[in-house]
Amino acid sequence: MDSRTINEQIDNARKTYIDMRVCMQKVINGLPDSPHKSFKYAHYQNLVYKKVFGLNAGALRTKKNVPKTNSVYEQFTVSELYECASVICTICSGLTDGKAYVDIKEKIMES
């Protein structure tokens, strides 16, 4: 496989991951206001990383040696990007169905 094909795969996987993150943010923005609403995105993103990597965002950033000025997802493999996107899809589905964080977390962590 030539490097152009590999780069295209990485670019496509990153686009999918970013699109799913945007989707999750839009779903969260559509939730009713609450005192903790501003933290929901970070909590769900940490859940994604916990499922895929076994680490929260801060620990993952440290492990991959990514400075705060860079996006940690730029260090992910194609399969990691798609796995993260899949978890985000499950989160969006749960949120859309009105499920609570604990229920969504339970479903994700047991799968």
Whether 2 has a pLDDT exceeding 90, the answer reads: no
The domain of 94 spans 3-110
Each residue of 10-57: pLDDT tens digit? 999 999 999 999 999 999 999 999 888 889 999 999 999 999 999 999
Q: Which residues contact 53 (CB under 8 A, 6 or more apart)?
A: 60, 63, 80
Question: What is the total count of domains within the chain?
Answer: 1
Residue-level pLDDT at 62: 95
Q: Which two tokens stand for residue 36?
A: 């903790």
Q: What is the mean pLDDT of the chain?
A: 94
pLDDT of residue 84: 98
What does the H/E/C string look like for the chain? CCHHHHHHHHHHHHHHHHHHHHHHHHHHHCCCCCCCHHHHHHHHHHHHHHHHHCCCHHHHHHHCCCCCCCCHHHHCCHHHHHHHHHHHHHHHHHHHCCCCHHHHHHHHHHC
pLDDT in tens, 45-60: 999 999 999 999 999 9
Task: Give the per-residue pLDDT at 1.
Answer: 60
pTM here? 0.91
Distance of CA 96 to the CA centre of its chain: 16
